[in-house]
Amino acid sequence: MRIETLSDGEITRQASGRLGVETRGQGFIEITDAAARWVAGTGIRHGLVTIFCRHTSASLLIQENADPDVRRDLLTALDRLAPRNVGYIHSTEGPDDMPAHIRTVLSGVSLSIPVVEGRMTLGAWQGIYLAEHRDRPHRRELIFHLTGA
């Protein structure tokens, strides 16, 4: 095993950005290409990118991006874990609201991905997804932050 270390003489840099994503309702939207373009555009070669979703009813996932059946099965599993219309107390925004909050708790709102040679180190079949957990379309905002050299 070989682990490379940045030299002490390199200056740590930071970059921040935002990405607005229009959703069509419940489902997964792949943002891998947008994230990769942003990382490459920063000029930072080695570091850690954090992506943060500013919402409580949408989340971020790293998941297989080769077979769309994986995403369909994930939606089915989430429906079983957090079903609609089961008598939640919080229901002012509709029957999909509380299940959306539960799904967000289960999947999370931030990701951290190492960057090496100016590229995210995702695996061959990994993609980055925004998961919309509400039934109606929404505009979601993601914050990107990359620290490195």
Q: What is the CATH number of the domain that holds 134?
A: 2.60.120.460
**Number of structural domains found in the chain:** 1
pLDDT at 122: 98
Q: What average pLDDT does the chain have?
A: 94
145 has pLDDT over 80: yes
Q: Is residue 6 part of a domain?
A: no
How does pLDDT run across 65-98, given as a tens digit for each residue?
999 999 999 999 999 999 998 999 998 899 999 9
pLDDT at 83: 96
Q: Is residue 38 part of a domain?
A: yes
7 has pLDDT over 60: no
Q: Is residue 106 part of a domain?
A: yes
Q: Is residue 87 part of a domain?
A: yes
Q: How far apart are CA 47 and CA 24, in angstroms?
A: 33
Cα 96 off chain centre by = 20
Q: How far apart are CA 124 and CA 45, in angstroms?
A: 20
Structural domain of residue 40, as residue ranges?
A: 24-148
Q: Is residue 80 part of a domain?
A: yes
- The answer to whether 19 and 38 have CB atoms below 8 angstroms apart is yes
User: 103 falls in which pLDDT band (50, 70, 90)?
Assistant: very high
List strand residue ranges (DSSP E) for 23-83, in order: 27-30, 47-53, 58-64
How does pLDDT run across 33-55, given as a tens digit for each residue?
999 999 999 999 999 999 999 99
pLDDT at 85: 87
